[in-house]
Chain A
Amino acid sequence: GDSVTQMEGPVTLSEEAFLTINCTYTATGYPSLFWYVQYPGEGLQLLLKATKADDKGSNKGFEATYRKETTSFHLEKGSVQVSDSAVYFCALSSAGGFKTIFGAGTRLFVKA
């Protein structure tokens, strides 16, 4: 079945450091890919998405590119802030279905 694997955390960075959170997936057909963010005590928010190969999703300085050849959707940000401290979930949605498959989540701590 479909699955998402993302790097284990926690990831601890200093402010203004470069961030990469790796995500790979297994799916049939043409899944859409997402990154969701969950701040402490809150629900999930969609951070960015990509619906086809080579699409780049971007939002709030975060970027991820849908790489079909490597089945990856790595999240990057050039300069993190303390306010980016949260849990990040990579997810996929298979064509025509209502189910979203989530990765295990990666907790990010950013120190001032």
Chain B
Amino acid sequence: DTEVTQTPKHLVMGMTNKKSLKCEQHMGHRAMYWYKQKAKKPPELMFVYSYEKLSINESVPSRFSPECPNSSLLNLHLHALQPEDSALYLCASSQMLLGQGASSSYNEQFFGPGTRLTVL
């Protein structure tokens, strides 16, 4: 199974709502990621979990709250979002792999299909 799944596919929420995005992978990957992608832009990294611990938070506002309940699941809890938070939210996972350069390793990420979020 080389798939990353995300639910829901689409989400519309008001600025006072609380909702959650879910991501799941069964490839045994120990790193999982949340990205935000605006139209016609590359993905922007939000959070990285490594071995279920938060490793990177790219100065994301606290209205986004990640959670990694186990090695296969990643959630993103949303609260009091703004209309400018409307975007495609992508989940990814990876296993750090050894490259063939001197002391190199590389990070091949597998992406889910994304959740299209609209904040009204």
Contact = CB atoms under 8 A, between A and B. Distances in A.
Contacts of B43: 44, 102
Contact of A43 (B41, B90, B105): B90
Interface string A51-78: 1110100000000000000000000000
Contacts, number: 82
A43 B37 CA distance: 10
A29 B31 CA distance: 22
Nearest to A10: B40
Contact of B100 (A36, A52, A97, A103): A52
B98 to A, nearest CB: 9
Interface of A: 29-30, 32, 34, 36, 42-46, 49, 51-53, 55, 89, 93, 95-100, 102-105, 107
Interface of B: 4, 6, 31, 33, 40-43, 45, 48, 50, 55-56, 90, 92, 94, 96, 99-114
19 contacts: A30-B102, A30-B103, A32-B107, A36-B111, A42-B114, A43-B6, A43-B112, A43-B114, A51-B99, A52-B101, A53-B101, A95-B106, A98-B96, A99-B45, A99-B48, A104-B41, A105-B40, A105-B42, A107-B40
